[in-house]
Amino acid sequence: METKAGDPGAFAHFDLTRVPSPAFVVDEAAVRRNLAVLRDIKERSGAKMLLALKAFSMWSLGPLIDKYLDGYCASGLWEARLAKAHYNGPISTYSPAYKADDLAELCDLSQHITFNNPAQIEKWKSDSNQSLKLESSELGLRVNPEIALGETAKYDPSQPHSRLGFPVSQLKSAHFQHLSGIHFHNLCEQGFDALQQTWDKLEPLISPHFGSLKWINLGGGHHITRNDYDREALITFLKNLKAKSGCCIYLEPGEAVALDAGILVGEVLDVFDNGMPIGITDISATCHMPDVIEAPYRPAMLGEQGEGMPIRLGGPSCLAGDIIGDYILPDEPHIGQRIAFLDQAHYSMVKTNTFNGVPLPSIWLWNSANDDLKCLKSFDWTTFRNRLS
């Protein structure tokens, strides 16, 4: 999977020795620029923008994000609690399935609760548990468009036998009985054309029910803040959909909020030869950038050269597959050398783990507009200890 981002922006001039290693550094000014793009689109189109916390949960920036977006979407109870505690806006929750206790609390927290199939709605509406007050939230159904457009099959919500969303081929009029909204999420780091193709598949099945629906949620995966995204086409599409459907239209950008807004700083711990130069870093793909292995993809490096001898970089864990990739470093590889990977503000921070007791990166907020730099969070070994028993 090729990364669609990797613009260094102001980080091209950031001194990597200003922070300890490893460390995430997020540029507040870059986040603000992304938010300004999203606000412009929502104001010109009439659509509403929700931050997908699954991608970017940096709640220290909650007051900033509140000024630009309309609310937040959660993937379960803990994210909904985070949204309630640290952000100010309506919460929309979707999960492939719910536990009774979680759903009871989500009814109080969420303006919208979206279910994965109609049978779930019938189950919970008929449940005798009086703590389930579904009427306090508007109910939605996630549908699966059954049109695979993603670059990587296992990341595609419309992959064969997907667990995400009710197949549109099985959708019937009776399924709309309890619904206030329809939700679909079919994209991953994609442009406007993929959204248009998805909607062309769905519209004939959903349009007969426009009169009964209050909202349509177009999900996430829209790379709206990328320079080559056709934002004017998106605005026209959203305006037309709102007019035709009479519904409130939602989008759930997550990655787009933090695109090209953060780096992960690391250090080379050792260099040796095994048929090619090998570098061990204090950045672990397994622990700090798991999408490198799961997607897989090759993250862009700050200052990587176009010519020279590549070195294979990997982390300090015992996992043989803890390999970041092959790179031509900005300088001759050496112990103590600082490096940084680009576009690491989203997904990487929310997916970190402490496998092998590998330390977690500290989290820093930098403002490239005024060069203010501050540590928001650092971790010691008790973070690892306290997860275990």
Whether residue 33 lies inside any domain: the answer is: no
Quote the pLDDT of residue 31. Answer: 98
Decide: 362 and 379 in contact? Cβ < 8 Å: yes
Instruction: State which residues form the domain around 304.
Output: 9-25+261-386
279 lies in the same domain as 245 = no
Which of these, 265, 261, 228, 219, lies nearest to 346 by C-alpha position? Answer: 261
Domain-terminating residue out of 258, 280, 315? 258
Q: How far apart are the first and last CA of the chain?
A: 37
72 lies in the same domain as 140 = yes
For the chain, how long is the longest CA-to-CA vector?
Answer: 68
Whether residue 105 lies inside any domain: the answer is: yes
Which of these, 34, 69, 30, lies nearest to 366 by C-alpha position? Answer: 30
Decide: 224 and 192 in contact? Cβ < 8 Å: no
Into how many domains does the chain fold? 2
Structure pTM?
0.96
Of 129 and 338, the structure prediction assigns the larger pLDDT to: 338
Q: How confident is the model at residue 1 (pLDDT cuts 50, 70, 90)?
A: low
CATH code of residue 112: 3.20.20.10
Please report where in the chains the tokens 């679909």 appear, as a residue.
184
C-alpha 28/C-alpha 43 separation (Å) is 22
**Average pLDDT of the residues in 92-109:** 96
Decide: 92 and 250 in contact? Cβ < 8 Å: yes
**Average pLDDT of the residues in 134-162:** 92
Whether residue 30 lies inside any domain: the answer is: no
Q: How confident is the model at residue 125 (pLDDT cuts 50, 70, 90)?
A: confident
206 lies in the same domain as 321 = no
